[in-house]
């Protein structure tokens, strides 16, 4: 599924302040490599239903073994192994005996200290890999998962690797043993070890996704294969909210355009971002924040949410809004299935101009039958001119005002809102009173 950088930012997959990102929410990795593979998984959503289902199945397997994940492998373990393999070490004797081992320890004390410390980490790493291998030894695995388990099996069968795995965790390595294992891991199993670190990192990223699914009680969506786009979400909410309100939403070719209205703070942007992030998560094989979700595979996801001006280029806010819409039209006019999310179109111009521009864009977009659109707006009046378009559904978020106090239900309702609360907020926040006293 195609996403551009703007869309990734708009739906908070990644964020400059990482703790506010979905990536951070899903990150239960302990190693740098695992974290980077998780970042890569989130950067490359699938476009093929078989890869999506395959990833779902892998995550489900890990969910069954979350408590069995090896604790021996830490980020420090990986760092130490990498450091040892790159360290400018004095040559270790190939067949160390008692005398040559003692001599190396005495004559190359600093290097031996590195050897002694590193061999323990190699033992921890391969014992951890052996635990992972044992977990999935007699399990029917998806092909892309089975490949990595087979590679682990082959490396574990190597003589020196097998020897170190069988040693007890509390085993006290002799000088000769330290030099023996250091020699083989450095000279014979260097590439194998580096490959196994990559394999473990990938597996840890999948494990992290499994932990997130279980921790947040996410549910795996079901996919249907058809030419026309379809989306049905029950109990959908935004994964980054602590106390979210759930929505039900259905979109299909007969009603592929949602015209969303409501006052500021009523929940329009949250709904748009909730849907965008859930569809994204579905396409990386993750569980989604919804009770149920059924959808087609989308070829792309595009958003128009956080447009900004560019002073250095002399570009106004409105100009960049136009450029974003222009780019969107260009991309989605390819006959493929797109999900397009637009929040508050044409905020950068006056109301009359914005209404005319918005109507023009909407009337153009509804000609594209093979995509789904959600557009939120404050320009409620243009809804009246669109009521006769059968492919547009109209929903709104209601706001109740009592004694200048605002109440938001965050419930999605049928129809068009006519709430106008700007002046109420101005008065409630004492701005009107302050101005009157000037």
Q: What is the pLDDT of residues 395-409, one digit of tens each?
A: 988 877 666 666 777
CATH number of 222-436: 3.40.50.300
Phi, psi of 164 (to 5 degrees): -70, -30
Cα–Cα dist 92/186, whole Å? 9
* pLDDT-above-70 percentage for the chain: 95
Q: Give pLDDT, residue 310.
A: 56
pLDDT in tens, 154-182: 999 999 999 999 999 899 999 999 999 99
Q: How much is the pLDDT for 155?
A: 96
Q: Which residues pair with 232 in a beta bridge?
A: 250, 294
From residue 116, alpha-carbon distances to 30, 113, 122, 174, 191 in Å are 24, 5, 10, 9, 21
Cα separations in angstroms, 328 against 200, 281, 300, 324: 39, 21, 11, 6
Q: How far apart are the first and last CA of the chain?
A: 56
What does pLDDT average to over the chain? 90
- Report pLDDT for 311: 45
pTM of the model: 0.91
What span, in angstroms and rounded, lies between the C-alpha atoms of 409 and 114? 63
Q: What is the pLDDT along the chain (438 residues), one digit of tens a residue?
A: 999 999 999 999 998 788 889 999 999 999 999 999 999 999 999 999 999 999 999 999 999 999 999 999 999 999 999 999 999 999 898 888 888 889 989 999 999 999 999 999 999 999 999 999 999 988 888 888 999 999 999 999 999 999 999 999 899 999 999 999 999 999 999 999 999 999 999 999 999 999 999 999 999 999 999 999 999 999 999 999 988 889 999 999 999 999 998 877 777 899 999 999 999 999 999 999 999 999 999 999 999 987 665 544 545 778 888 888 999 999 999 989 999 999 988 877 788 888 898 899 999 999 999 999 999 988 888 888 898 999 999 998 887 766 666 677 778 889 988 776 666 667 777 777 787 887
Distance from C-alpha of 120 to C-alpha of 131, rounded to nearest angstrom = 17
Pairing of strands 257-262, 292-295: unpaired
Q: Name the packing angle between helices 49-63 and 143-156 (round to 10°).
A: 50
What local confidence, expressed as pLDDT, does residue 423 receive? 66
User: Cα separation of 270 and 293, whole Å?
Assistant: 18
| Domain ranges (residues) in the chain | 31-215, 222-436
Q: What is the pLDDT of residue 287?
A: 98
**Stretch (H or E) spanning 422:** helix 422-428
pLDDT for 312 equals: 44
């Amino acid at each position: 599924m195609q996403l551009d950088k703007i869309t990734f930012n708009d739906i908070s997959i990644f964020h400059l302040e990482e703790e506010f990102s979905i990536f951070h929410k899903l990150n239960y990795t302990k190693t740098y490599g695992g974290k980077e593979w998780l970042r890569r998984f989130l950067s490359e959503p699938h476009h093929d239903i078989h890869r999506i289902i395959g990833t779902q199945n892998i995550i489900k397997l890990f969910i069954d073994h979350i408590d069995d994940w090896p604790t021996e492998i830490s980020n420090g373990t990986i760092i130490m192994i990498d450091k040892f393999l790159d360290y400018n070490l004095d040559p270790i004797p190939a067949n160390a005996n008692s005398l040559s081992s003692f001599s190396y320890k005495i004559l190359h004390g600093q290097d031996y200290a590195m050897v002694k410390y590193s061999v323990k980490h190699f033992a921890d790493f391969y014992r951890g890999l052996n635990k992972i291998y044992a977990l999935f030894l007699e399990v029917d695995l998806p092909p892309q998962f089975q490949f990595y388990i087979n590679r682990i099996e082959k490396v574990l069968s190597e003589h020196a690797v097998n020897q170190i795995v069988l040693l007890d965790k509390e085993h006290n390595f002799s000088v000769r043993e330290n030099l023996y294992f250091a020699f083989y891991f450095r000279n014979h199993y260097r590439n194998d070890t580096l490959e196994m670190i990559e394999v473990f990192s990938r597996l840890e990223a999948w494990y992290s996704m499994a932990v997130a699914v279980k921790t947040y009680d996410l549910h795996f969506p079901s996919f249907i294969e058809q030419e026309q786009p379809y989306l049905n979400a029950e109990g959908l909410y935004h994964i980054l909210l602590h106390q979210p309100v759930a929505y039900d939403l259905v979109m299909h070719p007969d009603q592929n355009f949602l015209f969303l209205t409501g006052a500021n703070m009523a929940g329009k942007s949250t709904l748009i971002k909730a849907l965008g992030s859930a569809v994204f998560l579905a396409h990386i094989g993750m569980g989604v924040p919804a009770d149920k979700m059924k959808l087609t595979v989308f070829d792309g996801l595009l958003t128009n949410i956080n447009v900004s001006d560019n002073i250095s280029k002399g570009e106004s806010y409105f100009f960049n809004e136009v450029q974003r819409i222009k780019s969107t039209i260009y991309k989605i006019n390819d006959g493929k299935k797109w999900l397009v999310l637009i929040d508050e179109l044409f905020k950068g111009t006056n109301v009359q101009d914005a209404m005319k521009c918005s109507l023009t864009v909407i009337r153009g977009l509804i000609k594209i039958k093979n995509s789904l659109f959600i557009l939120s707006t404050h320009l409620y009046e243009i809804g009246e001119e669109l009521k006769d378009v059968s492919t547009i559904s109209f929903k709104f978020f209601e706001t109740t005002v009592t004694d200048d106090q605002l109440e938001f239900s965050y419930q999605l309702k049928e129809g068009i809102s006519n709430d106008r609360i700007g002046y109420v907020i101005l008065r409630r926040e004492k701005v009107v009173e302050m101005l009157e006293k000037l």
